């Protein structure tokens, strides 16, 4: 089953577009994890156990595991293995934002798809199509390409004009028209910019969009759903990280977010 079909099947089975982001910053974990041998792994297990029933995807922010060195990499892999064993139908996303020259990208692709076994990865298009081709060649994996990102400073380059339109629009058009030959591309469209998301949806047709930025970054679910749903009432992976995993009750936070999304979907 391709990553896209896996995600859509999970959406249908649990009626959810929610992606829980495991931004498991070791400096922010609750005090009870200070003395355990594998704090990120134990924390992730708790979050997975409490929130998986409300989620169709989990997104691992690679930076927080890489910053912990070899131990962090091991806990990332063990967390991913635990999620796959417990909930094999949930889409797994490596939030790595990779993109490099050919040999380097090929190595990154092997690490993320073959060694770790992720279903999907976020990718940076700045180096062009040849840099991403090693990822795109994995036909059953999803390549989620940065287009209009959610951070406040994103417009510094993404608003630059390219043949009369903003750079983010040129990226969206290239992905849709050229890079998606294997039907395994998605686009990042930040929840903090719903007007641009609507424009991306118009370009992308029914392509699935990853929408980070709700919760701690301030994106509103209503405008995101209005702008981003595709013709089938799906086509969005709505990611929430800190607002769920560091909540006093992660299960309640995930359920509340899932339910709010579904109120606007209906």
Residues carrying an active site annotation: 97
For residues 33, 37, 41 and 47, what is the CA-based torsion angle, rounded to 10 degrees? -20
Tell me how far apart the alpha carbons of residues 18 and 259 are, in angstroms, rounded to a whole number. Answer: 10
Cα 212-15-172 angle, rounded to 5 deg: 35
Q: Is 85 exposed, middle or buried (0-12, 13-18, 19+ CB in 10 A)?
A: exposed
Nearest to 210 by CA among 224, 220, 222, 231: 224
Q: In this structure, are strands 165-166 and 236-240 parallel, antiparallel, or unpaired?
A: unpaired
Tell me how far apart the alpha carbons of residues 241 and 77 are, in angstroms, rounded to a whole number. Answer: 19
Tell me how far apart the alpha carbons of residues 122 and 98 are, in angstroms, rounded to a whole number. Answer: 7
């Amino acid at each position: 089953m391709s990553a896209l079909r896996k995600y859509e099947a999970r959406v249908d089975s649990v009626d959810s577009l929610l992606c829980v982001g495991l931004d498991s910053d070791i400096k922010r974990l609750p005090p009870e994890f200070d003395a355990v041998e594998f704090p990120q792994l134990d924390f992730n297990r708790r979050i997975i156990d409490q929130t998986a029933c409300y989620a169709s995807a989990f997104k691992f922010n690679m930076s927080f595991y890489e910053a912990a060195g070899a131990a962090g990499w091991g806990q990332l892999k063990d967390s991913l293995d635990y999620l796959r064993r417990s909930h094999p139908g949930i889409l797994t996303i490596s939030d790595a934002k990779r993109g490099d020259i050919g040999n380097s990208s090929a190595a990154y692709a092997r690490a993320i798809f073959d060694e770790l076994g992720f279903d999907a990865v976020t990718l940076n298009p700045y180096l062009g199509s040849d840099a991403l081709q090693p990822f795109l060649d994995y036909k059953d994996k999803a390549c989620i390409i940065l287009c209009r990102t959610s951070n406040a400073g994103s417009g510094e380059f993404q608003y630059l004009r390219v043949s009369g339109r903003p750079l983010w629009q040129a990226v969206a058009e290239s992905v849709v028209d050229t890079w998606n030959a294997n039907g395994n591309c998605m686009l990042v469209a930040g929840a903090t910019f719903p007007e641009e998301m609507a424009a991306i949806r118009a370009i992308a047709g029914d392509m699935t969009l990853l929408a980070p930025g709700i919760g701690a970054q301030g994106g509103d679910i209503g405008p995101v759903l209005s702008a981003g749903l595709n013709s089938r009432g799906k086509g969005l992976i709505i990611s929430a990280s800190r607002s769920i995993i560091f909540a006093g009750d992660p299960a309640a936070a995930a359920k509340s977010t899932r339910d709010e999304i579904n109120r606007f979907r209906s």
